Amino acid sequence: MKALRWLLPAVSLALVLAVTLWDLRGARIGPGPLHPAHVALPELDQGRNCEACHREGAGIDANACNKCHAAIAAQVASGKGLHGAMPAAQRERCGTCHSDHHGDSAPLLANHAFALAGVVAEQYDHRHVDWRLTGAHRDVACNKCHLAADAVVPPHGGRYLGLTQTCIECHADEHRGAFGGDCEKCHGQVGAWKETPGFRHATFALRDAHQRVACAACHRPGTPDEVARLQSDPPKAARQCAACHADPHGSTGAVAALRLGNTTDCARCHAATKWVDAGTAPAAHTDAKWPLRGAHAEVACGVCHGDRDRPGRWPGAAPPLASCAVCHESPHGAALTKAAVAAIGPADGCAGCHGDADRDFRSARMEPALHAATGFALDPPHAEVACAKCHDGSAREQRFPGREPAACRVCHADVHRGQFDHEARYRECTACHRTLSFRPPEFGVASHSKTAFPLTGSHDAVACSKCHGEVKDGVRTFRGTPQQCIACHRDVHGGTFDRAGREKQVAGRTDCARCHDTAAFAPVAGTFDHAVWTGWKLAGAHTKVDCTSCHPRAAQGPTKASRLGRAAGTSCASCHQDPHAGQFVRAGTTDCARCHGVESFRIAAFDHATTRFPLDDVHGKVACASCHVSHATSQGAVVRYKPLGTACGDCHTLGVPKGGTR
């Protein structure tokens, strides 16, 4: 029975080994038919030579794939291209992207292959190759250049490799090789083909209007200047203006007012702009001893030299540069012109304020010395103000109003909006402000003393904005500022001294000044009447005690400012400890004043006759401590005054000598 138990497993194992041996020796069962592209390869033997692609027991061999796909192997070796950029581990698993053994039902280049390689096929910009897709090439379909991109059976060289990456691979060369094969150098890939943003016109720099001329306008086919001939012939010098442009200034030219010699050199007067808008070159005019600067450099030539519509201004040689009046009419009165000529010159007086380099007539700068002659000296900061700031307007009366130097409001707005119009001395800004700068004002302590609120004590060190901080409609309030202390200061006493029955005025002073002065809030003024304000008159030694001895300081309010607190009470026991430990309490209260005065705690003379034991002649001479002895208590040593006996035997013992004790 034991042999039969092991017989069935042994037979099964033998069958499995036999089948496996049979499969390994040739009768193999593959995973499926190969793709037609691989079936056609003789080295695969119709799919029977598995070792050509697979390593025994290790799947697809990437090195075996690279033996056939040499271009891919080159990418891997150089680290370039799509496969060269992949991680090494991904390159070892070719089957992840290129799955076979599905016959022709699945392509070798699956749709997901690009995504696995980190590429979106529709947006691929050739980032892994030397020829990037930019401009118009970005919108071209892949199969426009890679003709076998969609082929079921790819060609031997692959779908995407093998192109030369030159322009003439796809485009016809309009220049027939005259400019070489690098079309992108001139044309780029962005604009239209006829645009050549990269072309450098080295011999004849294209500037201004020449940039807008079509190439064929200068380089006509069939002429000595056509592009192909210029590329093959020896280099030529740049053409002169007259080679393309007619001369309007020669003996037969149209502009008779500007007859010039040596008119072949147009650049003496013209720049390469639009011809009708051209201005004379400043350097050329300088040679004529009349340099063109400022607005003169922008005036059309015909304004001074004439043209078809107007005669020239100069019958002969040009006038001196400073003779402004020959062309320009002076807007100034005779008095100012005379003063200018006398103070500065030259003959017309204009050049003292105006320069030929000014952009316009209002760019002038009047010398301070000349401006002072008008009655308005240009002291700082007026010396830095542009003339047009003050002299503005269309009418002469607006431009030259004849302002007085002190009339600030003619030019400057009243930032206080009439707050100081009530008094003549404040109507002009200079009453409080310097002419050099509006801030800081010159309205100081001395000026403030002439107002209804003189600055005394600590107030003279406070910034103006601390008291005048209210702003209404953008204007700071000065006139009408409250003068009561409470308007600026918090009542640290919480209205205690303003309750009904309290004095509203003390020695002519009101508000906080009844007790405090402006030098400092503490200590209070010496006129503080303790009886008036507290109902408890200070007498004797109490007048010499510091306030904080009875009124301890306590933090108050959001700022935790320290102030005097409320006194504990008005009875002696409120502040002083009872040294008699309650021996003299009556009706729950100890009245110290029955024995003690306010000058000193020590008793000057105690009347013993008011007690139960009046002192006779003998007892009156005995020291108090002989009868009132100190005893130790829980409160410390206390002198005993009551209760004491009044009988003789309470103190004396029969037979004890005088002065002795029993």
Task: Give per-residue pLDDT as tens, 504-552.
Answer: 888 788 888 888 888 877 767 666 788 888 888 888 888 888 888 888 8
Could you give the maximum distance between any two Cα atoms of the chain, in Å? 171
User: H/E element holding 638?
Assistant: strand 636-639
Instruction: Pinpoint the alpha helices (H) of 138-262.
Output: 142-145, 184-187, 215-218, 227-232
User: H/E element holding 397?
Assistant: helix 396-399
- CA 278 to CA 273: how far, in whole Å? 6
What sign results for the dihedral spanned by CA atoms 343, 344, 349, 354?
negative
Residue pair 132/125 in contact (Cβ under 8 Å)? The answer is yes
**pLDDT tops 70 at residue 250:** no
Q: What is the token pair recorded at 322?
A: 């400073």
Residues 6+ apart with CB under 8 A from 403: 376, 390, 410, 411
Query: DSSP labels for 392-410?
Result: -SSSHHHH-----TT-GGG
Determine the 3-state secondary structure of 589 from DSSP.
Answer: strand
Residue pair 263/249 in contact (Cβ under 8 Å)? The answer is yes
- CA 239 to CA 226: how far, in whole Å? 13
- CA 42 to CA 550: how far, in whole Å? 119
- Mean pLDDT calculated for residue range 74-90: 87
**pLDDT tops 80 at residue 32:** yes
- CA 37 to CA 154: how far, in whole Å? 7
- CA 113 to CA 9: how far, in whole Å? 47
Residue pair 358/294 in contact (Cβ under 8 Å)? The answer is yes
Distance of CA 474 to the CA centre of its chain: 26
Map tokens 């030694």 to a residue: 541
Q: How many CB atoms lie within 10 A of CB 296?
A: 20
The backbone torsions φ and ψ at residue 574, rounded to the nearest 5 degrees and listed phi first, read -65, -30
Task: Give per-residue pLDDT as tens, 106-136.
Answer: 888 877 888 888 888 777 888 888 777 888 8
- Mean pLDDT calculated for residue range 387-416: 77
Instruction: Pinpoint the alpha helices (H) of 188-241.
Output: 215-218, 227-232
Task: Give per-residue pLDDT as tens, 255-278.
Answer: 555 555 566 677 766 777 766 555
- In the chain, helix, strand, coil percent, each to 5? 35, 5, 60
- CA 45 to CA 395: how far, in whole Å? 106
